[in-house]
Structure 1
């Protein structure tokens, strides 16, 4: 899914969620054979991505007209502050959770690849990621 969305993880997650919602709404109509259900899910997801690409390209990107007297200097303070907050939130995770998050999100590895690297079952990696994401979400919400 990441390849279809141009490696935009957030968009890929949105596509998966929308696909599952459509599956839920059409549950009574779907063929329950695994290969048929899988094909239906992939088709729906692909169409959602295509629609997304079309809507993004149909509307021209808006740009502000700059005054000729002023030239903006990029202010990196927001990025720096955000990075510091995320770094602090990551430090508060257990070493196992931090490693699972780094391997999957930062190095873009699959759960099975991470499980093989760490020598633990895939379910353990999934559990670590789940609890780590919840802890990160709480920590970031507390910090605003």
Structure 2
């Protein structure tokens, strides 16, 4: 009997890079495993061949799902940076955005630290958004060759193509990504003591609405965005102006830790109820990017976050 579910995490990571949505990746993997199970009698080879067969099915599922011309993006891919005081504008549909995904769904629980570092970088929001600029088959080639380290002949067999065609697609994909603004590495593997201290300071300052400390932990060219709005800011001065504006609604909000896209993340709670998922990218001892996804009812169950902030245990 073939074992399919043990491949779920790596297949989810592959489909997430292809599709840019944790929800769509889960759907794609489920369809992959269903198709594999239905046709299991056709498969009687070894373990490595099973993995290749599953990736072949997953690739076809993703290519089918990518027939729509709509591509997912980040706010900075869609509009220039806003100025403090400008309105958020009109929200755009969910399918516009690269969506976050929990680390637990896409990263192995154990593994070689160097390999995990590469995998974390390959699921960062900026990298996944850049992948969406590639035609779907080029996208598959680049992920399989440069992220998963498959040989060109293995990719050619999977795509029913030739090695020359795969190498040509990889060259074009690399050229496209070379022009993308990926920023510096922003994941963590694992957090060092200074970064843990940074996050502790961030959480304490956020929950106290201590603006001066929040500004102090930002990188000089930090960015802030809030999907589903194209509004975003770049630069510590502009972020500070927004944080210092009177009547900030986030006063008294609370945070619960999570992990998304190889980065620290937090569930944000307002008036005790789930409000947003905040994903942070760190650069050294500063916060380089803050993405606040304003879709708690959909995202919190995916991340295993409660919809209400947990009350402290009562002591007797």
Normalising by the residue count of structure 1, what TM-score does the alignment of the two structures yield? 0.43
Normalising by the residue count of structure 2, what TM-score does the alignment of the two structures yield? 0.22
More strand by share: 2
More helix by share: 1
